[in-house]
A = this chain, B = another copy of it.
């Protein structure tokens, strides 16, 4: 049956989503038209609508992609044998920030203030990141600072909160600092 193989279908979806992220990073969530994504992806409008129900669906996918990538970076450190100190953790997270994704991330925050679907995605990803940060800090307290595990978990809470806040602030500064790149001609 001549359906597209799942791998190929997923490939198209990410091809579209990545093109969308590039467009969003340049022009913002609402200012990019389907036509823009059309030329950026090399596909046609019809094709895009074969893979995403509508524009909102595509925006959600893009938001998830950007936020998930940020969470992944954190996941690596959370699983490390030698847990970094909070300061070290923070500066590594900051070093891993990609300006284009930072911009889309901040746009996502703005959209989340009015769109419940985006809001859920952002809140979910934020909670997940904070939890990983919490694990990471707890591991550091136990392994390096030799705290007792149950107390360490409590101690880690405000520290994780602060690291998260400082990271998000840095994300905002990066998004604002970086000039929005020109369309490649």
Interface set of A (CB-CB < 8 Å, partner B): 26-31, 103, 106-115, 119, 122-123, 126, 162, 164-166, 168-170, 172, 175-176, 180
Among candidates B111, B119, B165, residue contacting A110 with C-beta atoms closer than 8 Å: B111
Q: Ordered nearest first, which 3 A-B pairs have the shortest CB separation? A: A110-B110, A165-B169, A30-B30
Nearest CB of B to A64, in Å: 16
Nearest opposing residue in chain B for A107, CB measure: B110
Q: Are A106 and B110 in contact (CB under 8 A)?
A: yes
Distance in angstroms from A73 CB to nearest chain B CB is 19
CB-CB under 8 A from A122, the residues of chain B are 176
Name A110's closest neighbour in chain B (CB-CB): B110
Q: How far is the CA of A176 from the CA of B114 in the complex (A)?
A: 9
In whole angstroms, how far apart are the Cα atoms of A108 and B112 in the complex?
12
How far apart are A89's CB and chain B's nearest CB, in angstroms? 15
**Which B residues are CB-close (under 8 A) to A126?**
176
Contact A103–B107 (Cβ < 8 Å):
no
Q: Are A175 and B109 touching (Cβ within 8 A)? A: yes
Could you tell me the distance in whole angstroms from the C-beta of A54 to the nearest C-beta in chain B? 15
CB pair B114–A31 under 8 Å, yes or no, is yes
Given the complex, which residues of B lie within 8 Å of A107, measured CB to CB? 110, 113-114
